[in-house]
A and B are shown apart, each in its own frame.
Chain A
Amino acid sequence: MTPFYTSISKKMFASNEGWPVTDLIQYLFNGLVAGSIFAIAAVGISLLYSVLRLVNFAAGDFLTLGAFITYFFSVTLELNFILSIIISMLAGMAICWFLELVLWRNLRRNKAGTLALFLVATGVALMLRPIIQYIFGTETRRFNVDILKTYDFFGARIPQTQLIVLIFATISILLIALYMAKARVGKDMRAYANNPSLAAVSGINVDRVVMATWLISGALGSLAGVFQGLVQGQFNNAMGETLLLSFFAAVVLGTIGDAYGALVGGLLLGLFMELSQLDIFFGGVPSNYKPVVAFAALVLVLLFKPEGLFGYRSRKV
């Protein structure tokens, strides 16, 4: 299992030469790229928690699935890359739609408890992983894009793919925020998350809200997976699973259940993880400990501010 953090980007683009500001710019850029992907994945997890009280342990594997489906259509079948991404998002939505119909809806009717939701989500992850492995194999894959082209920005090296990912991820984040604020379903979602019974009596179709939440998280999972695959340069079937706890850290940091908070939490966590490698932080955290930075951030937030950055102390945690 290759930790994504030792991706080629790190080896290729981290340089010891140049002035110190170069390093800062480099890590800021890397942090923004990583953070924007965390944000997209975290918002899906956070929405599911706010609406269903479900900690989605399968979220990581939906990322992997998205990356592999995009790979299949764009590299194996040589379709247009953007079209492939859209197909993979639709596939992610379709799987979430199916699981909601056959699985989650029944569990809700049976008033399943926290543990049941935990274990079923884990079960989904455990089933999804071998399926991905069986269909797409264990080999390391890479998208058919030019990962070598870089731009020079004050000595920092900005790879073209990462720049494109950052731009598209930023657009996606803005669209998600806009959707949550303005669209009918987005508003219903927030209403339902706030007070399910009140939302139900005021005429909100609960099943529709839940389904919309699943579809959004399915689409965002695939999208984040493609972005992550692009940024890493190469990926295998352990990609999403490795990242899962970092997403949870982003979700908790931005207040669990708060979609806007998850966006901010994701960005902050990405920046924090990258900047922790700068020399000024205890001589810099070695890059293979980067996941530990995320886990430690998760534990520290849980210890000292379990309500997250945007929550109220009064909330029972």
Chain B
Amino acid sequence: MEAFIQPGFWIFVLAMAGIYGVFSLGLQIQYGVAGVMNFGHVGMMAITGYAIAILVIRFQWSFWWAAFVGVALAALGGALLGLSTLRLSGDYFAIASIAFAEITRYWILNSDGITGGTQGTLAIPNPRGFGGYTDQPDVILYWIMDRLTPYLGDNASRDLAILLVVWPFFFLFLWISARLQKTSWARVLRATREDDDVPRSLGKNVFRFRLQALVIGSVFGGIAGAFWAVQFMLLAPEDFLRIVTFYGWMILILAGATRVKGLAIAAIFFGFLYGATRFVEFWPISLLSAPERSYLRIFLIGVVLIALMVKRPQGLFGKRQEMVLE
């Protein structure tokens, strides 16, 4: 039980919560507002993360420009996905979006010369020899750490610096999203979620509204990817498996698909699940080896998803009548 009282554990939990919170905020705009079931959200994370790594390491770009272009590419990915397949009905689009994310991942996996292939971003060809891509954000992170060290000692870790950067952004995005929900734009989308024909009869281009929601959500997916890339300092294709999208879905469903503020709490719950199955040493978890623990995490997420859908499909903070969509 010791780990639970160690600040380092909770700092990691909160840092992960912030990153995945931003990630699931993208899904919240796509599904909670527009009713678009995107199961390939992890693809956006992969696009931004890898764009940053490639542009910084190989082409010596500034991290900030690379992050900007990376997020723009995620938005472009969302636009391409939407333009091609968003006209399909819900379950068809869901399958197509998974295919999109998997094609992205297979391309990363098999393009050794560009992405480093199975060895991840460490193997990206670099004119200067070995190199990471976090030098510039690290300047800020270490500045924060230096300011805090006199007060917190060893607890002023890089994780803490990330936490202090990510959470203000997360709250900012939550606030933007909450404001967005009150616009007429979101009202049209909520109407399309219930019934396509009514907004259509009012002259609204339903497809365009949905596409906008998909692209905005993809931007948040991309931003989460940028945070993720900074947090872990290297990327590999297996970081972007299908399962990551369902991390986001679990947070979203836990919060209630239409509850913006619940996302923060649900994200912390996920961060706890993620951290606890990774670091905590007590019986019975201590009986499991490290790979078995990562499987325990997947198992628990499966349990939470099923339990929620059976017992409380509206999530912890949602309204039942808003959840019955289809």
- Measuring CB to CB, which residues of chain A are less than 8 angstroms from any residue of chain B? 1, 53, 55, 103, 106-107, 110-116, 118-120, 122-131, 133-134, 138, 245, 248-249, 252, 256, 286, 288-289, 291-292, 295-296, 298-299, 302-303, 306, 316-317
Contacts and interface: CB of A to CB of B under 8 A. Distances in A.
11 contacts: A107-B309, A113-B326, A114-B90, A115-B31, A118-B39, A119-B249, A119-B308, A120-B306, A127-B303, A289-B106, A303-B85
Contacts of A112: 309, 313
A131 B313 contact: no
Greatest chain A CB density within 10 A among B39, B103, B303 is at B103
Chain B CB within 10 Å, residue with most, of A286, A296, A302, A303: A302
A113 B326 CA distance: 5
B291 to A, nearest CB: 7
A129 B243 CA distance: 12
B313 A245 contact: no
Interface string B10-49: 0000000000000000000001000001010000000000
List the 6 shortest-distance A-B pairs measured between CB atoms, nearest first: A126-B302, A113-B326, A123-B305, A130-B295, A127-B302, A123-B306
A292 B299 contact: no
A124 B325 contact: no
B303 to A, nearest CB: 6
Contacts of B110: 286, 288-289
Nearest to A302: B96
B272 interface: no
A119 B253 contact: yes
Of B31, B94, B98, B302, most buried by chain A (CB within 10 Å of CB) is: B302
B17 to A, nearest CB: 20
Interface in B275-308: 291-292, 295-296, 298-299, 301-306, 308
Given A115-B325, A296-B103, A130 B310 contact: no
Nearest to B250: A119
A38 to B, nearest CB: 16
Interface string B228-245: 000000000010000100
Nearest to B297: A130
B10 to A, nearest CB: 26
B238 A1 contact: yes
Given A126-B243, A317-B92, A116 B99 contact: no
A188 B246 CA distance: 35
A130 B296 contact: yes
B291 A120 contact: no
Given A55-B91, A295-B103, A124 B306 contact: yes
B102 A103 contact: no
A116 B291 contact: no
Nearest to B325: A113
B153 to A, nearest CB: 38
Contacts of B296: 130
A302 B92 contact: yes
A124 B91 contact: no
A122 B305 contact: yes
Nearest to A126: B302
B149 interface: no
A302 B326 contact: no
Interface residues on B, range: 35 or more
B107 interface: yes
A133 B107 contact: no
B interface majority secondary structure? helix
A134 B289 CA distance: 11
Nearest to B307: A123
B136 interface: no
Nearest to B237: A1
Contacts of B302: 122-128, 130
Contacts of B305: 119-120, 122-123, 126
B102 A138 contact: no
Given A113-B326, A129-B295, A130-B296, A292 B106 contact: yes
Contact of A245 (B88, B98, B298): B98
A119 B309 contact: yes
A138 B296 CA distance: 14
A113 to B, nearest CB: 3
B85 A107 contact: no
B93 to A, nearest CB: 8
Contacts of A119: 246, 249, 253, 305-306, 308-309
Given A289-B110, A295-B103, A299-B99, A133 B326 contact: no
Given A119-B308, A291-B106, 4 more contacts: A122-B246, A126-B246, A288-B109, A302-B88
B95 interface: yes
Contacts of A130: 295-296, 298-299, 302
B119 interface: no
B283 to A, nearest CB: 17
Contacts of A1: 238
B84 interface: yes
Contact of B303 (A123, A292, A303): A123
Contacts of B31: 115
A249 B95 CA distance: 9
B324 interface: yes
A124 B313 CA distance: 16
B99 A295 contact: yes
B11 to A, nearest CB: 27
A54 B99 CA distance: 18
B201 interface: no
Contact of B84 (A53, A123, A138, A303): A303
B324 A113 contact: yes
B102 A295 contact: yes
Nearest to B35: A115
Interface in B72-125: 84-85, 88-92, 94-96, 98-100, 102-103, 106-107, 109-110
